[in-house]
Homo-oligomer: A and B are copies of this chain.
Amino acid sequence: MIIIGERINGLFKNVRKAIQEKDPGPIQELAKKQVAAGAHYLDVNTGPAVDNPAEVMDWLVETVQEVVDVPLAIDAAKMEAIEAGLKVHKNGRPIINSTTAEPKMLEKALYLAGEYNALLIGLAMNEKGVPKDSDSRVAIAMEIIATADSCGFSPSDILIDPLILPVGVAQDHAPEVLETIRQMKLLADPPPKTVLGLSNVSQETKHRSLINRTFLVMAMAMGLDSVIMDANDQELMQALATARILLNQEIYAESYLEI
């Protein structure tokens, strides 16, 4: 299970402030803290409230790379900002986060993925939005994979995000997302990878950590490969480690939580 730390995101107040003040301290602290907790990648997102996203992304990536050497998921709404991050990315294979199946966006994202040898997160949505049922999500994922294939990518270069919505807003989506994850394993050989932006499921709920870890464990049972999450949520990390044991992905030892 690949853990992608979610915390360097301009949506968080302390990150937004650090970006505005060009203060590397808080960003670098978050980077080190997430990697120390077990994150294999760090997501880096400028947040929506910046005028010059490409410039900010360049600074964020450089700032993070000064203190940790994990690869990054370059996360932005605009491909210009993503490209700015890819240009200065230096540790391993970056992840482009993300594209929808909308043809122009997908084409641009695939171009960048090829140019910078990046993995690409494809969201199970298109210009019409996020469909509810798993069949429609799978159909959109298939479009992304077919387009990627026609550009010479392996399905395993693509991480399909079936898009979990907040349970308080769209509860009926949650089981559809689980089924979509399961279906991905049957879609191609090698299958595409799967990823979830986990915290979204618990937006505006009272028991965020409990809801996050319960959904993660369910998604892992369905075959989830990677997750964007709070690596510093210790109960979440313990649930993840336990799920890995029960899926026989890690050899059981009494001390498995202490590693």
Contact = CB atoms under 8 A, between A and B. Distances in A.
Given A221-B178, A248-B171, A214 B201 contact: no
Contacts of A24: none
A247 B176 CA distance: 9
Interface string A232-258: 000000110011011110011011010
Q: Bin chain A's interface residue count.
A: 20 to 34
A30 to B, nearest CB: 27
A3 to B, nearest CB: 17
A167 interface: yes
A92 to B, nearest CB: 29
A102 B87 CA distance: 66
A247 B175 contact: yes
Nearest to A210: B242
Nearest to A219: B221
A218 interface: yes
30 contacts: A167-B252, A168-B252, A171-B245, A171-B248, A171-B251, A171-B252, A172-B248, A174-B247, A174-B248, A175-B246, A178-B221, A201-B246, A205-B254, A207-B238, A207-B242, A210-B238, A210-B239, A211-B242, A211-B246, A214-B217, A214-B242, A214-B243, A215-B246, A217-B217, A217-B218, A218-B218, A218-B220, A218-B246, A218-B247, A221-B221
Given A178-B247, A210-B238, 4 more contacts: A211-B245, A214-B246, A218-B221, A218-B246
